[in-house]
Amino acid sequence: MAAPPQLRTLLFAVNAFLRKRRYHAALAMLKGFRNGVVYGAKIRAPHALVMTFLFRSGSLREKLRAILQATYTHSWNLARFVFLYKGLCALQSHVQGKTYQAHSFVSAFIGGLLVFGNNNNINSQISMYLLSRVLFALCRLGVEKGFIPEPRSDPFPWFTALVWGVILWLFEYHRPTLQPSLQSSMTYLYEDSNVWHDLSDFLIYNKSQPSK
């Protein structure tokens, strides 16, 4: 069924407004906010679902509340950061008459401080995820710019061996320094596998089921 004339007129006016270059920066901030909400939910919800039901104790209601809270926090923070970052970039470009590379750093620095500055589990996970990407990218940039000699062979095997060696040493002897979620994962892999009583908790379950 065709849309009513009033609705078609409204949609035409909205689409015409969205195409105006005059409002592009402000509209980009709004769409960035929208994309932050969607992407944050798509990334966090499955992760929170798996980690909560694997490692968290409590009732089903408590687990669902924890999943929703983690998803909300991730989405809300990411949406605010994108909105703020794009707004600050646009403001600097407008004030200075053109775009400079420093605008990205300054905008993200301010946004990161204001949005992700609170030290909680969600912000910590996001920052550590980004840190690994930053270190990889800076090494590649250093090679590209000639600041770091290009390796004669692939350094990845040595890199990954060092990472695994250090992380297991930290887990075994300095566990409190690791993030709680990583501690839970590694406990499941390396400690729970040391304990069993019969076939049920050796092969079927991780831990023996309470007798009824």
Residue-wise pLDDT tens digits, 30-74: 999 999 999 999 999 999 998 888 778 889 999 999 999 999 999
Predicted confidence at residue 206, as pLDDT, reads: 82
180 vs 89, higher pLDDT: 89
CA 53 to chain centre: 20
Lowest mean pLDDT among 74-83, 86-95, 110-119, 197-206: 197-206
Q: pLDDT for 90-112, tens place per residue?
A: 999 999 999 999 999 999 999 99
| Cβ–Cβ < 8 Å for 89, 107 | yes
Predicted confidence at residue 169, as pLDDT, reads: 97
Predicted confidence at residue 5, as pLDDT, reads: 82
Cα angle for residues 98, 103, 107 (degrees, 5° grid):
135
Predicted confidence at residue 133, as pLDDT, reads: 95
The residue among 70, 176, 79 whose CA lies nearest residue 87 is 79
Predicted confidence at residue 10, as pLDDT, reads: 86
Averaged confidence pLDDT in the chain: 91
Would you kindly state where each structural domain of the chain is located, as residue ranges? 13-117, 121-150, 155-211
The residue among 141, 96, 126 whose CA lies nearest residue 36 is 126
| Cβ–Cβ < 8 Å for 99, 108 | no
Predicted confidence at residue 201, as pLDDT, reads: 80
- Whole-structure pTM value: 0.82
Mean pLDDT of 170-178: 95
Predicted confidence at residue 42, as pLDDT, reads: 95
